[in-house]
Amino acid sequence: MQRLRRLPLFAVGMAFLFCVGCGQNYSQGPTQSSPATQQATPTAQQATPISQLASPPASGFVTLEVAATSHRPGDTVSVILKNSSSYVIYFLDHQTSCTFVLLQKQVNGTWENINNCALGIASGLHTLDAKQQLTVNISPPRGLWTPGFYRATLRYNTVHSLNGMTTIASAGFSIG
pLDDT at position 119 is 75
Instruction: For residue 55, give the DSSP letter.
Output: P
Where b means 16+ CB within 10 Å and e means fewer, 77-106 reads bbbbbbbeeeeebbbbbbbbbbbbbbbbbe
CB neighbours of residue 145 within 10 Å: 24
pLDDT at position 134 is 96
Phi, psi torsion values for 114, nearest 5 degrees: -105, 80
pLDDT at position 25 is 43
Q: What is the mean pLDDT of residues 22-49?
A: 39
Domains and CATH numbers, the chain: 2-175 (2.60.40.2360)
Q: Tell me: the pLDDT tens digits for 72-105?
A: 999 999 999 999 999 999 999 989 988 999 999 9
Phi, psi torsion values for 13, nearest 5 degrees: -60, -40
pLDDT at position 43 is 38
Using CB atoms within 10 A of its CB, is residue 134 exposed (0-12), middle (13-18) or buried (19+)? buried
Q: What is the mean pLDDT of residues 10-24?
A: 39
pLDDT at position 163 is 86
Mean pLDDT across the chain, nearest whole number?
75
